[in-house]
Amino acid sequence: MKRVTSLLLVFLACICSGAFAQGFPSKPVRLIVPFPPGGDIEPLARILGERLQSVWGQPVLVESKAGAAAIIGTDFVAKSAPDGHTLLMCSAGPIAINPGLYPKLPYNVEKDFDPIALIAAAPMVLLVNDTVPAKNFAEFLAYAKAKPGALTFASSGTGSIMHLTTMLFLGDAGLTMMHVPYKGSAPAIQDLLGGHVNLYFNPMPSALGALKAGKVRALAVTSAGRSPLLPEVPTLDELGIKGFDALSWYGLCAPSGTPRDVSQKIHAEVNRATSQPAIQERLRALGSEPLQTSMEGFQSLVRKDTARWARVIRENTVKVD
pLDDT reported for residue 4: 46
* Topology annotation, domain 123-221: D-Maltodextrin-Binding Protein; domain 2 (3.40.190)
The CATH architecture to which 27-121+248-315 belongs is 3-Layer(aba) Sandwich (3.40)
pLDDT reported for residue 20: 57
Question: Along the 321 residues of the chain, how does pLDDT read in single tens digits?
Answer: 545 444 444 444 455 545 557 789 999 999 999 998 878 899 999 999 999 999 999 999 999 999 999 999 999 999 999 999 999 999 999 999 999 999 899 999 999 999 999 999 999 999 999 999 999 999 999 999 999 999 999 999 999 999 999 999 999 999 999 999 998 888 999 999 999 999 999 988 888 888 988 899 999 999 999 999 999 999 999 999 999 999 999 999 999 999 999 999 999 999 999 999 999 999 999 889 999 999 999 999 999 999 999 999 999 999 987
pLDDT reported for residue 50: 97
Largest CA distance in the chain: 81
pLDDT reported for residue 17: 46
Strand 152-155 versus strand 199-203 pairing type = parallel
Residues whose CB falls within 8 Å of the CB of residue 150, separated by 6 or more in sequence, listed in order:
178
pTM given for the model: 0.88
Q: Which of 42, 318, 37 is nearest to 181 (CA)?
A: 318
Q: Quote the Cα angle for 213-221-47, to 5°.
A: 70
CA distance 292 to 280: 12
Cβ-count burial of 190 within 10 angstroms (0-12 exposed, 13-18 middle, 19+ buried)? middle
- The answer to whether domain 27-121+248-315 and domain 123-221 are alike in fold is yes
Q: How far from the centroid of its chain's Cα atoms is residue 109's Cα?
A: 15
- What residue spans define the domains of the chain? 27-121+248-315, 123-221
pLDDT reported for residue 209: 86
